[in-house]
Amino acid sequence: MSLPTEEQVKEKLTAVIDPELRRNIVELGMVRSIEIKEDGQINVTVSLTTPGCPIRSHFQDAVVQQVSSLDGVTGVGVGFDVLSDEEKAGLMQTLGRGKLPQGALAQVKNVIGIASGKGGVGKSTLTANLAAAIQAEGHSVGVLDCDVYGYSIPRMLGVDRKPEVNAERKILPPVAESGVATMSMGYFVNDNAAVVWRGAMLHKALQQFLEDVAWGELDYLLLDLPPGTGDVAMSMAQLLPQAKIAIVTTPQPAAQSVAARSAEMSAKVDVEVMGIIENMAGFTTPTGETFSIFGEGGGQLLADELEVPLLGNVPLSEELREHADTGNPLAIEEPDSPAGQAIVAIARKIIASTPRELPMIQSMDTSAPELAPKLGKNARELPLV
């Protein structure tokens, strides 16, 4: 049986992606070398962005899985080294980033932004409740409060303490009673102090919350995004190319049309919209009468317009607001209430539509670019595995 060519091996490696950068390792220049031996043994060296990469074993498994599927391969060895400073600088320029991720989010399986076109639609309340509901389903969850000006996640999840710092100088996210890990600007300012920042400072703060926080292994990281299509939303798209967003709207046409702008922005920056959540979908009185205070059907119309699923309709609920104010999510305290049931159902839809493992393999792309140059002068070799 004939041996595979280097081009065939390279083609297989275009299916192996960096889960933080969301591009394949050939495109990123992370394939240092390919050695094909006469007995069918293939040795591949992968260059990492950091020597302490927490998902090194996942890269190894993905490379072995892809290369071993070629005819004539009798074994696959995977070695690692670290990109040189010059190579890192080139990669940052290619990606348009001022800094490469250091692996803080490498063990986060799913990143989901909860967005809205306008304020006042209950986005933060739903973010807190969805996080608690997903955690209650047996999945590890973190919430990053990206609404720097209107931070509210600590209060809604009942967290009232400052973060600590570990021995590696990483910030430890405070954990709510529900088990949800949290991070917010609210932990770093005096009680309800206003934050007066401009775009560059917002970007830097968001980057620090993503990269300098010890998130660890998470099934889901939910981002409570500020309303609109401003600086933070664009920073998220740049820093988190793996993220998806769910858009919150109310039923009225005015809110629906504004929410559509969030979807338009997402399309421009290549962020996938996973679905629409309609909040304040109707109010039911104690006597059983139902009133559509904010209209009806807007969420479904928006979902149809964008050709994405309507994840659910959450009724207008005084209890939902009261539990958010006291830091006890309704989805946990009263899951059988109408709003609680709706939120739990949406949480289960999100779980069903997202991967359970780290996204290391993608569909094949046959138009892979050339391999990176040979070992840079400052690169460090790590042992063959």
Same-domain check for residues 151 and 290: yes
Does residue 322 surpass a pLDDT of 50?
A: yes
Q: How confident is the model at residue 313 (pLDDT cuts 50, 70, 90)?
A: very high
CA dihedral 25, 28, 29, 35 (to 10 degrees): 10
**Alpha helices per DSSP H over the chain:** 6-13, 56-67, 85-95, 123-136, 153-156, 199-211, 231-239, 253-268, 298-306, 318-326, 330-333, 338-352
For residue 259, which of 306, 295, 315, 312 has the smallest C-alpha distance? 306
Strands 218-224 and 181-184: unpaired
**Residue 316 corresponds to which tokens in the numbers above?**
């207008």
Q: What amino acid is encoded at 288 in this protein?
A: G
The CA distance from 104 to 127, in Å, is 22
Q: Is the dihedral of CA 151, 153, 158, 159 positive or negative?
A: negative
Q: How confident is the model at residue 234 (pLDDT cuts 50, 70, 90)?
A: low
| Domain assignment present for 94 | yes
| Domain assignment present for 112 | yes
pLDDT at 33: 94
Same-domain check for residues 317 and 367: no
CA angle 109, 111, 115 (to 5 degrees): 160
Same-domain check for residues 340 and 372: no
**Residue 9 corresponds to which tokens in the numbers above?**
């091996």
- Better-scored residue on pLDDT, 135 or 265: 135
Same-domain check for residues 61 and 185: no
Q: How confident is the model at residue 258 (pLDDT cuts 50, 70, 90)?
A: confident
pLDDT at 102: 62
| Domain assignment present for 181 | yes
The CA distance from 383 to 385, in Å, is 6
Q: Count the alpha carbons within 13 Å of 57 in the hemisphere toward its beta carbon.
A: 2
Does residue 20 surpass a pLDDT of 90?
A: no
pLDDT at 364: 45
Does residue 142 surpass a pLDDT of 50?
A: yes
Same-domain check for residues 82 and 120: no
Same-domain check for residues 71 and 217: no
pLDDT at 169: 86
Same-domain check for residues 13 and 120: no
Does residue 200 surpass a pLDDT of 50?
A: yes
Same-domain check for residues 75 and 193: no
Domain that holds residue 50: 6-98+359-384
Put simply, whether the predicted model's pTM sits higher than 0.75 gets the answer no
What tens digit of pLDDT does each residue of 323-335 get?
Answer: 999 999 999 999 9
Q: How many domains does the chain have?
A: 2
| 212 CB neighbour count, 10 Å cutoff | 14
Of 131-135, 147-151, 233-237, give the lowest mean pLDDT range.
233-237
Q: Measure Cα distances from 11 to 5, 64, 285 in Å.
A: 10, 14, 61
CA angle 265, 267, 269 (to 5 degrees): 75
Strands 17-18 and 23-24: antiparallel
> What CATH code is carried by the domain that includes residue 73?
3.30.300.130
| Domain assignment present for 103 | no
pLDDT at 376: 42
- Distance between start and end Cα atoms, the chain: 26
Same-domain check for residues 215 and 337: yes
Does residue 259 surpass a pLDDT of 50?
A: yes
- Better-scored residue on pLDDT, 145 or 168: 145
| Domain assignment present for 270 | yes
> What CATH code is carried by the domain that includes residue 342?
3.40.50.300
Q: Count the alpha carbons within 13 Å of 47 in the hemisphere toward its beta carbon.
A: 26
pLDDT at 370: 37
pLDDT at 98: 67
Does residue 266 surpass a pLDDT of 80?
A: no
Does residue 143 surpass a pLDDT of 60?
A: yes
The CA distance from 54 to 214, in Å, is 12
Same-domain check for residues 158 and 302: yes
Does residue 382 surpass a pLDDT of 50?
A: no
Same-domain check for residues 134 and 279: yes
- Better-scored residue on pLDDT, 8 or 379: 8
